[in-house]
Structure 1
Amino acid sequence: MALRAPTLAPPTPTRRVLRPVGLLAALVALGACVLLSITVGAKPIPVADVWAALTDHDGSYDHNVIRTLRVPRTVIGVFVGAALGLAGALMQALTRNPLAEPGILGVNSGAAAAVVLAVFAFGAGGTGLVWPAFVGAAVAAVAVYALGSRGPANATPVRLALAGTAVAAVLQGLIYGVIVLNDFVFDRIRFWQVGSLLGRDLEIFWQVAPFLVAGIVLALCLGPSLNAVALGDDLAASLGARVPAIRTLTAIAVILLCGAATAAAGPIWFVGLIIPHVARLITGPDQRWSLPYSAVLGAVLLTAADTVGRVIVPGAELEVGIITAFVGAPLFIALVRSRRMAAL
């Protein structure tokens, strides 16, 4: 880890004020999204009834809906969104690749493929999906980095993105091949595969919570060290940073976050790509601020997308992964076309 803080350009007075104010505003927005997620749905429920359901459960239909359906999916949405936002920020900071994201670099696809194979081969479910997701995420991450750094050239952003796209395409082909040929697997994971919070209960959350919390805490602690790595390996080492240890801990945090998030909600794209760029527009390159921003903004985006998905189609519900794809794809195109946003 970094023994002393690296030298960073001092923030402007405006940014110095904007950072804490913006983080507070993001937390307020997250609170509003949580409240909307609990009250809005096929049947709107007043806030007074929500409070009564949480404090004095009477067994009524509305109270059961709140306690068994909406609260669990909201809690999972907050933690999964924070995990994906943090994972994207960590990957972009470590690789200095503005296009790094758990989906684009194949990590989500690796976790999803391992889960599908576990369901196909062993009929796994519940807690049985957690460890395959971690193993799949780790194997995909190693494979992408190995392919992206093969030969005399280093693992450049373009090489990593191309390798991630290739690995993700192969894994997606494997996934579709299994679910098309096996009705049992298809029925079990068809909603999970597109990224969904529907039907998730607190039992699933408690199964993945230790990994999510560990990954989030580890990620937030890595901010100063990632600031050192951003200066380059040689300069970071001269400042006292243990670069191999930082890379290893960052990889562990990414695997914990992506594996747990994918096991809980399925593969969800674009959250980890877009959110870190939005965070850096507010905070600048300082990872001590951009990491907590990424966590909060990721939670805001996912809970808001889940809420929109419940009401955008009358009488039906769109999965949260579909909503984030609709939102993220145009932003991704804008990101690729904008040199200022793509610069790290």
Structure 2
Amino acid sequence: MAASVELLTTPSGTPAGTGDARARGAGRLGHGKRTRPAGRVHVPGIVVLVLAMVLFFTPLIASAIFGFTLPGIGLTFESLSQAFANPMAVQAVTMTVVLGLLTTAASLALLVPTIVYLHLKAPRAAKLAEALSVIPIVVPAVALVAGAGVFFRAVAPGFLVSPYALVPFYVIITMPLVYRALDAGLTALHLRTLFAAAASLGASPWRTLIGIVLPNMRAALLSAGLLCMAMVLGEFALASLLLQYTFPVFLVETGAAAPRGAAALSFVTMLATWGLLALISLISAAGNRRRRTPAAAPSVTSTAKEQP
């Protein structure tokens, strides 16, 4: 015996309550918010973006025009050649690049094992370490040099005379940026799973770190290296206080004698930094595409041939 069900209908002929239910369902799905049409342009956002680009590029363009032009001559590289006519220019650039490479190597050697250990063994202490890594931002360079000078005069009096004495100071001032770049790269990895799988295959922790973890955080390592080089290229206070002749010190001296040459050098340095950033982005994108490309599956014919 079939049971019949009567539905109450509205005067328009639709089942009663259907419209209310649909309205409630639409309210739940959309949460009562109106969506912006796909083709609509967000004018305030575009205005803010244009203003930000104007404020950012205007000083750079003005610096390039001032550095690479001369009254009555126009575009010329004479100011740049005059700046590099200084016999100390090549020495300053070479020393700065060497200090940047040493700072990058020291920072990575110090922070990569430390952050890996914190993620694996002491995840609660990782928050404390992240907070402590910000301290170099609030410590002035004068206070850092004064405190370190007292220590090194008692332990190694001749250390501060060497230009390589800047490396530990650079490691300290770059720590906040390098720590966050490496921490972001390691957070994206499943470290516990990687180390557990490698240990089950007989790999030691150091072999796992060098052979598995480091290749998977290539982008983070390149970002940390770029940050170190950028900081070393622009750091003037520490080198000046320790009486070392680096590229920022050379740039300031050039600005006092030849301001157009200093402006041209600043613009070239900015372009070099952007070039490094673009190169790192390309390398990182190529690595990501290579990892996302699936391996080719064996064909049915080849599989059948291999069977006896």
TM-score, normalized by length of structure 1? 0.29
Flag the structure with more relative contact order, 1 or 2, with Cα contacts below 8 A and sequence separation at least 6. Answer: 1
TM-score, normalized by length of structure 2? 0.32
Q: Which has the larger radius of gyration?
A: 2
